[in-house]
Amino acid sequence: MDTTLQDPLVGRLLDGRYRVDARIAVGGMATVYRAVDTRLDRELALKVMHPDLATDAAFVERFMREAKSVARLAHPNVVGVFDQGADGAYVYLAMEYVAGCTLRDVLRERGALRPRAALDVLEPVLAALGAAHRAGFVHRDMKPENVLIGDDGRVKVADFGLVRAVGSVTDTTGSVLGTVSYLAPEQIEDGSADTRADVYACGVVLYEMLTGAKPYTGDTPAQILYQHLRTDMPAPSAAVPGLAPELDALVATATARDREARPGDAVALLALVREARARLDDAQLDAVPPQAKEPAAGNGDAESEARTSVIPRLRPMPVEHTSVLPTPAPDPAAPASVASSASAAGFRRRITRGPLLIVTAVLLALGIGTGVWYINAGQFTHVPAVLGQSEAEATRRLAGTGLEVGATERAFSDVYERGTVMAVDPAPGERIRGNGRVTLTLSRGPKVVKVPNLKGVPLAEAKKRLADEGLAPGVVGYAFSRSVAQGAVIGSDPEPGTERAPDSAIALQVSKGVPVPVPDVTGQTVSKATATLQKAGLKVAVAPERVESPVDAGAVAAQSLAVGSRAAKGDTITLTVSKGPRMIPVPDVVGRTVDEAKDALESAGFTVKISKTFPFLGDEVSAQSVPGGQNAPEGSAVTLTIKGL
């Protein structure tokens, strides 16, 4: 039955402008509809917050504020935000409508994807997240449901509804918003989410695309959270044998449990993905995955695992007094992954014994227990004046009064210098608990920065100049140039003089210098080949293992760059040395016709010569230069003598 017929919004004109035509999807916090903007006569998507959440003024205010931030992300792989507003109990966003399906739909229908297809999806996703990261935002809820694949093949990232400033903690209620299967360990442990949390989630999504299944399963969300905290991500090749090691390495790097071991943001991960793709051949990229398997028992509620939920977490606080308070009875209608607000509010005991106790506490907050601990915090102090100070100076001053920096946000300012504190929450002078946390807002400088001219500047210096201007180095590409010295910048994208927001990523193209033609050194001795290549300005490496080859033993059998290829000065050519031809038995062809004998010898791996003084006298082999059954070098010639009449 079509349930959209029962939806009160379908067929309604929302806010006097948007005609709601059909319901597309229902999520944990909002419902998405296909609609028409009657003023501009264009099709779009309306994301309408659930009415029960719309009664929370703070939540709505954040929803609106963050929507404005996302609207500034003008990127071809980000679903655009056109408008926001409210109509009675309905708070909505008007967004770009993408006709197509989600990555979740693709995985559900096809199972595992070929590596080429998985990387074709991942790269535009990382490009979109990279734009957000360099603009100072974190998505915090990356999953296949939020990757849209249009009918025209375009890939777009959707649902930036949880986006927050880089480095910010999710909220102050002792809970974290997200989806259990894609949460990074630090999100579970302390609620913090910077760009590396998105990197972790993208690693999980890549694993799922390559294998057709999530890396962790369990009967409850808490069991999945425990695995994220305590176990390293399994290699995709363990589930799909034959996958390239480079793909295993990508997943392992992106999903390192220690965030410091992950790439710093999506731009850095995108560079690693492109490097890995370049090392894979067509056979590795187009490897056909096995058919997706049925989910194993004990996978829990798949729908709740994929839903964006409020998940309880622990906020460390000094313990001065503890007492046991009764927990309100859980709502039997609520999903298992959503904690009751009453449970989350009392869930504040400091954990010092690692992830095991964290998961135990999560189990309690999910209703699997009889009570929670409540901590009474102690004395009060006043927030010191730190406006205009650097982040390090402000942090030291706050620490001196017993306070911590709980989150760091960033905003534009024409008054405060880039990197200095422009706002504090609570404000300077306000009363706060002596062990409380303070949110700092750091200046990103003015809203617009001009891209400097970096042509001819060495790469390291170019990166420093970008940072000094308030911009960030993006993907670095390389090309030959006869006019720009090797290692220096040829140009940038966007071009010099272009205005960009602070922290925008600037792609750089770096010179590989004048191309060096690669000479042919096969068949030469290693010493002679080395001298030839070094004279051409190239470096030489010798492969540790020798190979069987028609080339004489000790001579070069193969070189890593083919003759005529172009290399950069200083590039390394790897030489593979021959251990001589393979010795194989010679077929006995005496008594056969010439054609039969020739076919037999060539099929065995030999070349054939014919000795026939009087060709008209017969067509039968009377002798062969190497007797049948004797070994000879593969590829060598066998001479046949033809019997006369």
Phi/psi at 567 (5° precision): -125, 160
pLDDT of residue 163: 53
What the chain holds in terms of domains, given with CATH numbers, is 101-312 (1.10.510.10), 380-443 (3.30.10.20), 449-511 (3.30.10.20), 516-577 (3.30.10.20), 583-643 (3.30.10.20)
Q: In the β-sheet with 572-577, what is the strand arrangement from edge to edge?
A: 539-542, 572-577, 556-559
Compare 445 and 569 and report the one with higher pLDDT: 569
Long-range CB contacts for residues 491-497, cutoff 8 Å, separation at least 24: 491/455, 492/451, 492/454, 494/451, 495/451, 496/450, 496/451, 496/452, 496/453, 496/454, 496/455, 497/450, 497/451, 497/453
Six-digit token string for 290? 């096995």
Compare 70 and 44 and report the one with higher pLDDT: 44
Q: pLDDT tens digits, residue range 368-420? A: 332 222 222 334 677 887 888 889 998 988 888 888 888 888 887 766 788 88
* CB 596, CB 561: distance < 8 Å: no
| DSSP symbol at 457 | -
* CB 197, CB 256: distance < 8 Å: no
Q: Rounded to whole angstroms, how far apart are CA atoms 396 and 425?
A: 16
Closest CA to 261 of 185, 180, 162, 355: 185
Six-digit token string for 141? 């809820």
Q: Rounded to whole angstroms, how far apart are CA atoms 98 and 25?
A: 13
One-letter amino acid for residue 612 of the chain: K
DSSP labels for 560-581? SS-TT-EE-TT-EEEEEEB--P
Residue 318 pLDDT > 70: no
Q: pLDDT tens digits, residue range 454-474? A: 999 999 999 999 988 888 898
Q: Rounded to whole angstroms, how far apart are CA atoms 10 and 21?
A: 6
Q: What is the pLDDT confidence band of residue 187, given thresholds at 50, 70 and 90?
A: confident
| DSSP symbol at 143 | S
Q: pLDDT tens digits, residue range 635-644? A: 889 999 987 6
Q: Stretch 119-138: mean pLDDT, rounded? A: 92
Q: Is 597 left (phi over 0), alpha (psi -120 to 50) or beta?
A: alpha
Query: If DSSP states are collapsed to H, E and C, what string results for 175-224?
Result: EEEECHHHCCHHHHHHCECCHHHHHHHHHHHHHHHHHCCCCCCCCCHHHH
* CB 36, CB 43: distance < 8 Å: yes
Residue 141 pLDDT > 60: yes
Residue 229 pLDDT > 70: yes
Closest CA to 217 of 209, 207, 205, 225: 225
Q: Does residue 494 have a cis peptide bond before it, meaning omega lies within 30 degrees of 0?
A: yes
Closest CA to 385 of 429, 352, 347: 429
380: β partners: 433
Six-digit token string for 50? 């659930």
Q: pLDDT tens digits, residue range 69-110? A: 677 788 899 998 888 888 888 889 999 999 888 999 899 988
* CB 202, CB 126: distance < 8 Å: yes
Q: At what angle do helices 195-211 and 266-279 cross, to 10 degrees?
A: 30
With b meaning 16 or more CB within 10 Å and e meaning fewer, what string describes 309-339?
bbbbbbbebeeeeeeeeebeebeeeebbbbb
Q: At what angle do helices 245-254 and 266-279 cross, to 10 degrees?
A: 170
Residue in this structure with the two tokens 């962790």, named with its chain if needed = 216
> Of residues 141, 190, 248, 571, which has the active-site annotation?
141
Contacts of 317 (CB under 8 A, 6+ apart): 348, 349, 350, 375, 377, 435
Q: Rounded to whole angstroms, how far apart are CA atoms 543 and 574?
A: 6
| DSSP symbol at 488 | B
Range with the largest mean pLDDT of 129-143, 301-315, 452-466: 452-466
Residue in this structure with the two tokens 């299967």, named with its chain if needed = 181
Pairing of strands 164-165, 100-102: unpaired
Contacts of 610 (CB under 8 A, 6+ apart): 594, 639, 640, 642
Residue 531 pLDDT > 80: yes
Q: At what angle do helices 195-211 and 103-110 cross, to 10 degrees?
A: 30
Task: Please give the C-alpha separations between residue 364 and each of 370, 376, 472, in angstroms, as whole numbers.
Answer: 7, 19, 44
Compare 530 and 159 and report the one with higher pLDDT: 530
* Mean pLDDT for all residues in the chain: 80
Please, is 605 exposed, middle or buried when counting C-beta atoms within 10 Å of its C-beta (0-12, 13-18, 19+)?
Answer: middle
Q: Rounded to whole angstroms, how far apart are CA atoms 90 and 84?
A: 11
Closest CA to 622 of 599, 586, 588: 588
* CB 540, CB 573: distance < 8 Å: yes
User: DSSP 3-state assignment of 157?
Assistant: strand
Six-digit token string for 41? 């006569």
How large is the C-alpha radius of gyration of the chain? 33
pLDDT of residue 415: 66
Six-digit token string for 156? 């777009």
pLDDT of residue 3: 45
Compare 168 and 93 and report the one with higher pLDDT: 93
One-letter amino acid for residue 631 of the chain: N
User: DSSP 3-state assignment of 43?
Assistant: strand
Q: pLDDT tens digits, residue range 413-436? A: 766 788 888 888 888 777 777 678
374: β partners: 323
Q: pLDDT tens digits, residue range 264-295? A: 999 999 999 999 999 999 999 999 887 544 43
Q: What is the pLDDT confidence band of residue 177, given thresholds at 50, 70 and 90?
A: low
Q: Stretch 351-355: mean pLDDT, rounded? A: 38
Long-range CB contacts for residues 151-155, cutoff 8 Å, separation at least 24: 151/99, 151/100, 152/100, 154/76, 154/77, 154/98, 154/124, 155/77, 155/120, 155/121, 155/124, 155/125
Q: pLDDT tens digits, residue range 541-578? A: 999 999 988 888 999 999 999 888 889 999 999 999 99
Residue 253 pLDDT > 90: yes
* CB 27, CB 51: distance < 8 Å: no
One-letter amino acid for residue 103 of the chain: L
Q: Is 87 marked active-site?
A: no
Phi/psi at 386 (5° precision): -130, 10
Name the percent of the chain lying above pLDDT 90: 46
One-letter amino acid for residue 262 of the chain: R
577: β partners: 556
Residue 615 pLDDT > 60: no
Residue in this structure with the two tokens 């999945």, named with its chain if needed = 224
